[in-house]
Amino acid sequence: MKLTIISGSHRDEAQSLKVAKYVERTLQEKQLCDETHLISLSGNPLPLWDQGIWDKDPAWEERLNPIREELRASDGFVVVSPEWHGQVPAGLKNFFLMCSRFEVGHKPALIVTVSSADGGAYPVAELRMSSYKNNRICYIPEQVIVRNVESVLNDDPAANNPDADTYFRERFEWALGILREYAQALRQVRASGATDTDTFKNGM
């Protein structure tokens, strides 16, 4: 089983990337999957979507094919998003415009949101509402909202709020275990052939 973590912050020194790396370590250390891959949007590695993607422009194909290969090989995903101005960052929304049903369709994903204060709920709602329709990614009915992120999941124990840090570490292990079970179960759905269609290419 392969699980891919997507860190959706554009910032170079992002708390979301810290959380994404923690998720990857937890998956590995708890042996919740056989292989992990981390995609970081720090530094805006992907330009804004344009028509060239549909037209198979060579520059876009060179840029996207390595990402597509990783996504196709994955059984599930963890999507880590900060809350910026009450929203999902533009780069993460842009990323989902470039994902199709062939890469992420009918595969489970755990939403993880990050806030420096007591926020983090708005990106959960936004991702569930507007990022899945045509690519058919399947968000599981569980999420983790990491509030006051600067004070948890740090490598230096002295930088952590002990109670909150313990809670989030336990919550992550539990939620990632659920993701693993969904990843196993949805393999059977894809293998059944029920999801294969050229008639209904887009969601309603």
Q: State the CB neighbour count (10 A cutoff) for residue 11.
A: 16
Beta strands (DSSP E) in the chain are: 2-7, 35-40, 76-82, 108-114, 138-146
- The Cα 161–Cα 163 span in angstroms is 6
- The Cα 36–Cα 54 span in angstroms is 29
Tokens 């840029």 locate to: 63
pLDDT tens per residue across span 107-147: 999 999 999 999 999 999 999 999 999 999 999 999 999 99
Q: Residue 58: left if φ>0, alpha if ψ -120 to 50, beta else—which one?
A: alpha
Confidence (pTM): 0.96
Which two tokens mark 32? 């919740």
* pLDDT value for 8: 97
- The Cα 125–Cα 190 span in angstroms is 26
Which two tokens mark 120? 């983090």
Cα 170 off chain centre by? 19
- Whether 37 and 28 have beta carbons less than 8 Å apart is answered as no
* pLDDT value for 196: 87
- The Cα 58–Cα 48 span in angstroms is 16
Tell which CATH classification among 3.40.50.410, 3.40.50.720, 3.40.50.360, 3.30.360.10 matches the domain 2-188.
3.40.50.360
* pLDDT value for 135: 97
User: Mean pLDDT per 10-residue run, the chain (204 residues)?
Assistant: 97 95 98 98 96 95 97 98 96 97 97 96 97 97 98 97 98 98 98 91 92
* pLDDT value for 161: 97
